[in-house]
Amino acid sequence: MTTETDTKPAYSPGLAGVIAGETEICWVDPNAGLMYRGYDIHEMAEKANFEEVAYLLLNGELPTTKQLEEFSKALAAERPLPKEVLEMMRLMPKNTHPMDMLRTGVSMLGPFDPQLNDHSHDANIRKAIRLIAKTTTLIADGFRIQHGQNPLPERPDLTMAGNLFYKLSGEVPPTWKIRMMDTIFILYADHEFNASTFAARVTAATLADIYAAVTSACGTLKGPLHGGANEEAMAMLDEIKTADRAEDWMMNALAKKAKIMGFGHRVYKSGDSRVPIMREIGRDLGQRVGKDQWIPICEKLEATMDREKHLCANVDLYAAPVFAMLNFDPALNTPIFAASRVAGWCAHVVEQQDHNRLIRPRSLYTGPASRPYKAAAASNGS
């Protein structure tokens, strides 16, 4: 009979290629495809709005007109934050990164939810609506507080995309900008077992609550190898400045073995499904706002990286200049990603807890072999 100590389970560093669970929510095709519940992301990005996609991710089917109306109303009604959470944000150091503010805010919201410890399907969906609604409020109100401004009242007549612009700047954006933001939110809404979603599922699988799971996800998204890349990519583009400097910059960085933000992906090896849409938004926006320098820099970087290392650009490379041209502070790049991905995180928590099994892998022990214990007193000779 073989015991567990005799067998050697397969080991994959970084869990690369490991199937860690089942999901009906999202499929990432390594050959540059992406589907939400069977619907092609490219079609959704063109035709749907974020609320529709959030409904689809949470409920499994597209909403009817009436269901969408009710869902959008419920989201808008849940936007305001408890005053204690606003007070907490005023107490945070002024230089707190917006992702740290968001993570802390999500965590603090938990005990204010009367259904915090009810993990039934229906309660989880209701909590998901509250969390999706309040995430943009945490981001916008937190940002204004940090910059010495008072949070603005909600505009329930605006969709989440429109309301985010309004809550940050006090201005209702033109329709084309809201449409563009909806497309961006749709592109970022889910991506199967990416690092932050996996973190959320690991937390949810212990039967901790959805706020705990989304807090784990926010902490994970912040890292520059994941969501944090879209802030770092903007710093890189700012440094490069013009397309004619991009190739030299890249060659220098590669010679120093630097990790270039906005390039590479664990799953996509022949292109990120979201890049062509984000690149197109960048081109369109560049013309609209008279800042057409950014996309040619990205394209030159892409060509150089492809030639040198056969690595593809990921969505964060193009999201960075898009957010800059939409006038968002670069520190908000990753929180905006979170404002959308929270829909995916919540859908995965619901799915995890509906069919739960603890997620607990093994490690490959590489430490010292068994050795005799020597007490400190004995080895000191005292």
From the list 50-58, 60-68, 263-271, 374-382, the region that binds ligand ACO by CB under 6 A is 263-271
Q: Where are the beta strands (DSSP E) in the chain?
A: 26-29, 33-36, 39-40
The Cα-based distances of 248 to 231, 292, 305 in angstroms read: 22, 20, 11
* Residue 148 φ/ψ region, left for φ over 0, alpha for ψ in the -120 to 50 degree band, beta for the rest: left
265 belongs to the catalytic site? yes
Residues 249/274, Cβ–Cβ less than 8 Å: no
Pick from 57, 133, 261, 301 the residue near ligand ACO by CB under 6 A.
Answer: 261
Which of 144, 222, 226, 348 binds ligand ACO (CB under 6 A)? It is: 226
Is the distance from CB of 208 to CB of 291 less than 8 angstroms?
no
Q: Which of 182, 272, 316, 348 is catalytic?
A: 316
Q: If DSSP codes are grouped into helix, strand and coil, which group holds residue 28? A: strand
Select from 18, 225, 235, 251 the one that contacts ligand ACO (CB under 6 A). 225
Contact region with ligand ACO (CB under 6 A), list: 58-66, 206-214, 258-266, 323-331: 258-266
**235 binds ligand ACO, rule: CB under 6 A:** no
Q: Does 263 bind ligand ACO (CB under 6 A)?
A: yes
**Judged by CB under 6 A, which stretch of 45-53, 106-114, 141-149, 222-230 contacts ligand ACO?**
222-230
Question: Is the CB of residue 194 less than 8 Å from the CB of residue 228?
Answer: no
Q: Measure the CA–CA gap between 19 and 23, rounded to whole angstroms.
A: 10
Q: Is 316 in the site for ligand ACO (CB under 6 A)?
A: yes
* Exposure on the CB side of residue 364, measured as CA atoms within 13 A: 10
| Contacting residue, 314, 333, 340, 352, with ligand ACO by CB under 6 A | 314
Taking residue 67's Cβ as centre, other Cβ atoms within 10 Å add up to 14
Residue selected from 158, 311, 331, 359 as contacting ligand ACO according to rule CB under 6 A: 311
Binding status of residue 271 toward ligand ACO by CB under 6 A: no
CB of 373 to ligand ACO, least distance (A): 38
Contact in structure between 294 and 324 (CB atoms under 8 Å): yes
First-to-last alpha carbon distance for the chain, in angstroms, is: 47
Residue 277 CA: distances (Å) to CA of 41, 186, 285, 316, 320 = 10, 11, 12, 12, 14
Residue 41 corresponds to which tokens in the numbers above? 């992301």
Q: How far is the CB of 289 from ligand ACO (least distance, A)?
A: 24
Q: Is residue 327 within 8 Å of 174, Cβ to Cβ?
A: no
Shortest reach from residue 224's CB to ligand ACO, in Å: 6
Confirm or reject binding of residue 229 to ligand ACO (CB under 6 A). Answer: yes
CA distances (Å), 183 to each of 14, 41, 43, 291, in order?
Answer: 31, 10, 10, 20
Question: Which residue lies nearer to ligand ACO by CB, 134 or 191?
Answer: 191
Residue 211 binds ligand ACO, judged by CB under 6 A:
no
Nearer to ligand ACO, 208 or 315 (CB): 315
To ligand ACO, the closest distance from the beta carbon of 169 in angstroms equals 26
Q: Establish if 189 lies at the interface with ligand ACO (CB under 6 A).
A: no
Copy the structure tokens of residue 89. 């944000």
Nearest by Cα to 253 from 309, 317, 324: 309
| Site size for ligand ACO (CB under 6 A) | 17
> Please, which residue, 167 or 226, has the CB nearer to ligand ACO?
226
15 binds ligand ACO (CB under 6 A): no
By the criterion CB under 6 A, which residues form the site for ligand ACO?
A: 14, 225-227, 229, 259-266, 311, 314-316
Q: Which residues are catalytic?
A: 265, 316
